[in-house]
Amino acid sequence: MTLLDPQFLRKLDRLELATRRTTTGQMKGERRSRKRGLGTEFADFRQYTPGDDLRYIDWNVYARMEKLLLKLFILEKESQVCVLLDCSDSMRLGGGRKSAMAARFAAAFSYLALSAGRPLVVGAFAERFLAARGPWQALEQFPESLRFFGSPPAGRATRFGASLAEFLATRRGRCLLIVVSDFFQEDDVRPEIAWLRRRKHGLHLVQIVEDFDLEPLLRGACTVTDAEGEGELSLVAGHDFMSQVRAAIGEYVAGVATTCRGLAVPYALVRASQPFEQAFLEHLAERPAG
């Protein structure tokens, strides 16, 4: 499967160039910088000069060597971009259209990260964290990302919180986590989103759904099978029952969006039936500037 058309990548290049022209580079997390600054992860020392912030002098070094050295830290904008793809069974329902849309979104985010010079890690999760590749930092390494998302490992059930906790245990420092998933799992995903925000990681969520995820096509007596489990349920799908089902699904999806908005987490709901390029570019256009 060809994930991204070269013409679409040229559109992303133009978008990245336009963004660079309007970016000041002063806000944390806005753009990656090769400069050292005052952040959270130690990087190096330099000689103290008058006017430097005295809080960052290493007094232990001064006591040993009688030299005033300033501790330097990596700015938050140096943090890794981690693009993580849900590879559970529910993503492959409906002929794979949802999984294909999700893989394209993940690949496009990866391209933007490398274009901006950000260190990139890509990964896949389901009931656990399945695999990770990277970090990469050169745009020439983008084909590695395409290969990963073009044929990712397959899992069973979605366990968003547990999978990301397992992944983050292998990381140093803070990350910008871009997660592409349907976010349909046995447990409520909203407390897990809040937990990640409390960890101070950057978070960006894209929920990919099929039309039948939001409006199940059930009529009369039928048997429903859990896509990510072994359970079956026999039921009669009458009008009142289906109204309740659609209301519950709508409430859950709206709840995810409300949680993200309350936590200042960028979020998008994307239908797999939409044209990919249009959906991705519209999502970028809707994101707040800076």
Query: DSSP 3-state assignment of 164?
Result: helix
Q: How much is the mean pLDDT over the chain?
A: 78
Average pLDDT, integer, range 33-42: 42
Query: DSSP 3-state assignment of 124?
Result: strand
Asked if 121 contacts 82 with a C-beta cutoff of 8 angstroms, the reply is yes
Nearest alpha carbon to residue 97 among 282, 284, 276: 276
In the β-sheet with 120-125, what is the strand arrangement from edge to edge?
A: 129-136, 120-125, 80-86, 175-181, 202-209, 267-271
Q: State which of 22-31, 177-186, 248-257 shows the largest mean pLDDT.
A: 177-186
Q: Rounded to whole angstroms, how far apart are CA atoms 236 and 261?
A: 37
Q: Rounded to whole angstroms, how far apart are CA atoms 208 and 111?
A: 19
**Kind and range of the H or E run holding 111:** helix 97-115
pLDDT above 90: residue 50: no
Average pLDDT, integer, range 186-204: 88
Strands of 50-117, DSSP E:
69-74, 80-86
Alpha helices in 5-83 (DSSP H): 6-21, 59-65
Q: What is the pLDDT, as a whole number, of residue 204?
A: 93
If one counts every other C-beta atom within 10 angstroms of the C-beta of residue 250, the result is: 12
Q: Where along the chain do its domains lie?
A: 6-14+78-211+262-286, 36-74
| Residue 261, φ and ψ in degrees, nearest 5 | -65, -40
Strands 36-37 and 202-209: unpaired
Average pLDDT, integer, range 75-97: 82
Q: Which two tokens stand for residue 16?
A: 């990245």
If one counts every other C-beta atom within 10 angstroms of the C-beta of residue 129, the result is: 21
Q: Which two tokens stand for residue 23?
A: 């970016």
Q: What is the pLDDT, as a whole number, of residue 13?
A: 84
Strands 80-86 and 120-125: parallel
**Kind and range of the H or E run holding 107:** helix 97-115
Identity at 89, one-letter amino acid code: D
pLDDT above 60: residue 143: yes
Nearest alpha carbon to residue 161 among 185, 142, 145: 185
Q: Please give the model's pTM, rounded to 2 decimal places.
A: 0.74
Average pLDDT, integer, range 270-289: 83
Place of tokens 């990681």: 201
Asked if 133 contacts 121 with a C-beta cutoff of 8 angstroms, the reply is yes
Q: Rounded to whole angstroms, how far apart are CA atoms 78 and 75?
A: 6
Q: What is the pLDDT, as a whole number, of residue 171?
A: 85
Q: What is the pLDDT of residues 156-177, one digit of tens each?
A: 899 999 999 999 998 877 789 9
Average pLDDT, integer, range 115-143: 92
If one counts every other C-beta atom within 10 angstroms of the C-beta of residue 169, the result is: 8
CATH number attached to the domain at 6-14+78-211+262-286: 3.40.50.410
Q: Which two tokens stand for residue 218?
A: 């059930």
